[in-house]
Chain A
Amino acid sequence: MKSEAILVELNRRAPAEIGSHKRALKFLLTLATTLVLVGILIQALVVVHVRPQEFITGFHGMADFLRRANPPDVSQFDLMLWPALETIDIALFGTLAGIIMALPLAVLGARNVTPALPLYYLARGIIAYCRSVPDLVWALLFVTAVGLGPFPGGCAVAVHSIGMLGRLFSEVIEDMDMGPVEAMTLTGASRLQVFTHAVVPSVAPSLLGIGLYRFDENLRSSLVLGFVGAGGLGFQLLTAMSLFQYRTVSLLLIITFVLVMGAERISAALRRRVL
């Protein structure tokens, strides 16, 4: 009788005690997570040698640079048009070549439409490799292979785009509604007919949107690629910096800003139309 009474008492207490244990555990877990996050942040600050005081001590240098960079040297404007066109065309060539090469890889690398599993792994491997090597490194490799100029820049942008576009394209294909594909398969259509009549119309707007976004990204990349000799405005910027022609640097930065903003606006407007 006594033991039964103890059991009843324990059962009465149990929910409240379990609740307090849960709360304590939750608190400890939150504390541990916070400590880990703070630890990660501190190690990042240490590793990158964060020295905010340098902004104050370096203020004079920055002010001197701004003084010498103004006003922008607009007399150089017509000389910068060709490098600006080169920059746009590096991005354009890289994006188009990237799309053309990424599309078949994306089809092979999409689990729901790939014709064979080994091809899936091969395509995914190529896509991952192209993506994992930064475009700047690709540019260095192509400059070594084909020499200075915009062509290695275009090649670098194209190869890096294969990696980025290939992955996004294959994810879009994997997420598509397979109903129309099944319906076309049942008409007796060939694999290629199913692809062109069911897969392409279903995913084309998304792919086009991704392609336009990639052009926008590639334009920014192509500016940096000039620093390693791959032509365009980046190369002009590097030269002007090396020769301390800060007013030319200023002009180049304005042209860059206009190009990037223009591409961003145009790409966003086109994306809105196709999606």
Chain B
Amino acid sequence: MLEVVNLSKRYPTGRVALRQANLKVEAGELVIVLGSNGSGKSTLLRCVARLIDPTEGEVRIANHDMTRLKGRDLRRARTALAMISQHGNLVKRRSVLANVACGALGRITDWRSRFGMLPAEELEAAHRYLAEVSLQEFWAQRASTLSGGQAQRCAIARALAQRPKVLLADEPVASLDPEAAEDIMRLLRRLASEDKLAVVCVLHQPALAMRYADRVVGIKDGMVEFDLPAAEAQRHDLSALYAARAA
């Protein structure tokens, strides 16, 4: 479903954030990426989503090489890929329902959507996605009134409204309490297992990674150090992954 081949990223400052990274995630798989701050985890996700352009390598999603696409083709290819981030990135002054319905913007061709309006059928569908993340009673509230965990679930509902094949999650539980964090991880697990999404999640909590992931990928200094099933990753010395940075 998602295949990253020899992906590298060198910033204009000369810093190499990603070196020849390889990763393959199948539909229904939850892959968790671990690594210290600045190891290249977020750069990997941002390159996959083409929020930044990789220096070299390929990102294949459903047989499209994302790195070669531009303009309308890139926009069309992006609908297959949704991303959630640490703070949810909701439009705070809009309602929870409108935020979720915005996930469908990539496939809405209605001219009214260009002027800030959303079709009734997408707003109707947004209620279903909100129910999936147990937020249905909050639909009319402003997004700014949601707690951290609720905002994250709302962002996931928006991602679902996009009907993606691949879901990228960049530190989705970083600012949440342990209970809310477990809640979000359970949801990601369910989306992978039941909705057959290919989920790639960047985390800083190895314990959560071992509990929920199918595979764990370790990144250090921009290179993939290991890519192991969760059971095997548990036996791996993870301290080495974080040691160099601490030194």
Contact = CB atoms under 8 A, between A and B. Distances in A.
Interface of A: 179-180, 182-190, 192-193, 196-198, 200-202, 204-205
Given A184-B102, A186-B83, A197 B78 contact: no
Interface stretch (B30-38, B85-93, B204-212): B85-93
Interface of chain B, main secondary structure:
mixed
Contacts of A179: 85, 87-89
Nearest to A198: B91
Given A196-B114, A196-B116, A197-B116, A187 B106 contact: yes
Contacts, number: 80
A180 B103 CA distance: 11
18 contacts: A182-B85, A183-B89, A184-B91, A184-B105, A185-B51, A187-B79, A187-B102, A187-B104, A187-B162, A188-B75, A188-B76, A188-B77, A188-B105, A190-B75, A190-B114, A193-B105, A196-B116, A198-B102
B168 to A, nearest CB: 9
A180 B90 contact: yes
A196 B92 CA distance: 14
A28 to B, nearest CB: 40
Contact of B105 (A187, A200, A204): A187
B186 interface: no
Interface in B92-120: 92-94, 102-108, 113-116
A16 B99 CA distance: 63
Interface of B: 49, 51, 75-79, 81-83, 85, 87-94, 102-108, 113-116, 155, 158, 162
A183 to B, nearest CB: 4
5 closest pairs, A vs B, by CB? A188-B106, A179-B89, A189-B105, A188-B79, A183-B89
Contacts of A186: 49, 51, 78, 81-83
Given A186-B78, A187-B162, A196 B115 contact: yes
A154 to B, nearest CB: 27
Contacts of A185: 51, 78
B102 A182 contact: no
Nearest to A192: B114
Nearest to A196: B116
A3 B13 CA distance: 49
B12 to A, nearest CB: 15
B114 A182 contact: no
B91 A201 contact: yes
A200 B116 CA distance: 8
A2 to B, nearest CB: 45
Contacts of A189: 75, 102, 105-106
A183 B79 contact: no
A204 B81 CA distance: 29
B82 A187 contact: yes
Nearest to B75: A188
A202 B92 contact: yes
B66 to A, nearest CB: 12
A180 B83 CA distance: 12
A182 B51 contact: yes
